[in-house]
Amino acid sequence: MKTKNHQDVIIIGGGISGLLCGTKINNRLKTTILDKGRNFGGRLATREFNGAIFDHGAQYFTAKSSQFQNYVNKWHKEKIIKVWFSSHSNAFSHNHPRWISNKGMNQLAKHIANNLNVIRSTEISKIIYNENFWSLESLTGSTFSADNIVITIPVPQIKKLFSNSESQTINFKEINDYFSVEYEKGLAILAVLNGKSGIKKPGFLKPDNENISWIADNYIKGISPIPALTIHTSPEYSEKVFNKPPVEQIREIINPLKTIIESDIIDYYVHKWGYTTPIINNNINNDFFEQFNLFFAGDSFSGPRVESAALSGLSIADKIINKYQN
């Protein structure tokens, strides 16, 4: 049965792909975005901790396509984002500007969502195909319905959702075999310092250490009022210590840091990313799913860059809009 607030489109997942997909179709079709978190934005993640502010997901993004550059130009004009840096020795293979939000990456997610209906803390546990529309049920018992569903969450979460879903037409358990994306794990260690880090501008390091892949000084970056580091551990190290207590997770990180930074850590928090870089190995027949008005977007289907995820969401929006125009 269609719910009272039946939607043309429901998007599951409020990361950059879901948000931009929703933005493009929202003026044409009745659209709602559902996100399981207390906040939304996916990798556009910012956290406040002990007086400091950290970007603990995506550290920046680039724009290599004209389509995404148009959005970047708009956000820049609106004073939401700025260039962090364009080139830095041999640390990167290209000199495209690295863009960041003025007040942390999650600011951009909130800005994009300004005119969208985003419902947080809503994890969809079951979808049911009713031949011409979809019913959705959340873990807490909330129900929704829509003519189209766009799924942007990580593949392991899709497979869990499909294992509980129903249809007379679609064999969800058989479809699960098509999804073969694997992910690297990651840890983001958020460290508050008792003084300046000593890291030179623009405020990041890619140290020569097998356990540490990235260090950013959020104070130099311009988002934290006090010195605060985001430390991303390597996939191999993250996998090794992922399920250990935080004190063990940072044990092999602290000593190398002492040779890199000039101040001491006075407090820290470890954020666990279960799905960081996707290893794409999909053989998904999108035409098969689209006949049921079921669409997929996000980095699981496009690659790990912010821009790639954004473009995948915009591409799905175009498909849905074209369907209604034809």
Give me 4's structure tokens: 């009272």
- 60 Cβ neighbours under 8 A, 6+ residues apart: 84, 98, 99, 100
CATH architecture of residue range(s) 7-38+120-181+281-325: 3-Layer(bba) Sandwich (3.50)
Q: Which tens digits make up the pLDDT trace of 272-326?
A: 999 988 876 555 667 778 899 999 999 888 878 999 999 999 999 999 999 888 6
Tell which residue, 313, 270, 232, 310, has the closest CA to residue 64: 310
- 234 Cβ neighbours under 8 A, 6+ residues apart: 210, 211, 212, 213
252-259 long-range contacts (CB < 8 A, ≥24 apart) are 252/211, 253/189, 253/211, 253/212, 256/207, 256/209, 256/211, 256/212, 257/191, 257/212, 257/231
Angle among Cα 278, 280, 283 to the nearest 5 degrees reads: 140
Whether 93 has a pLDDT exceeding 60, the answer reads: no
Could you check whether the bond before residue 278 is cis, i.e. omega within 30 degrees of 0? no
Decide if 81 contacts 103 (C-beta within 8 A): no
Query: What's the pLDDT at 174?
Result: 75
Instruction: Cite the DSSP H helix spans in 142-290.
Output: 155-163, 172-175, 218-221, 235-241, 246-249, 251-258, 286-290
Q: Which tens digits make up the pLDDT trace of 237-284?
A: 999 999 999 999 999 998 889 899 999 999 999 999 999 888 765 556
Query: What's the pLDDT at 131?
Result: 84
Pick 183-273's CATH classification: 3.90.660.10, 3.10.300.10, 3.30.70.3270, 1.10.150.120: 3.90.660.10
Whether 180 has a pLDDT exceeding 80, the answer reads: no
Domains 7-38+120-181+281-325 and 183-273 share a fold: no
Most confident range (mean pLDDT) of 98-102, 156-160, 179-183 is: 98-102
Instruction: Cite the DSSP H helix spans in 43-115.
Output: 66-77, 105-112
Whether 89 has a pLDDT exceeding 60, the answer reads: no
Decide if 149 contacts 312 (C-beta within 8 A): no
Instruction: Give the separation between CA 168 and CA 279, rounded to whole angstroms.
Output: 32
pTM assigned to the model: 0.94
Q: Which tens digits make up the pLDDT trace of 200-229?
A: 999 999 999 999 999 999 999 999 999 999
Instruction: Give the separation between CA 287 and CA 292, rounded to whole angstroms.
Output: 9
Angle among Cα 81, 86, 87 to the nearest 5 degrees reads: 155
- 269 Cβ neighbours under 8 A, 6+ residues apart: 47, 49, 189, 190, 246
Residue at token pair 């990041």 = 204
Decide if 164 contacts 247 (C-beta within 8 A): no
Decide if 75 contacts 108 (C-beta within 8 A): yes
- Per-domain boundaries in the chain: 7-38+120-181+281-325, 183-273
Decide if 325 contacts 318 (C-beta within 8 A): no
- Chain centroid to CA 28: how far? 25
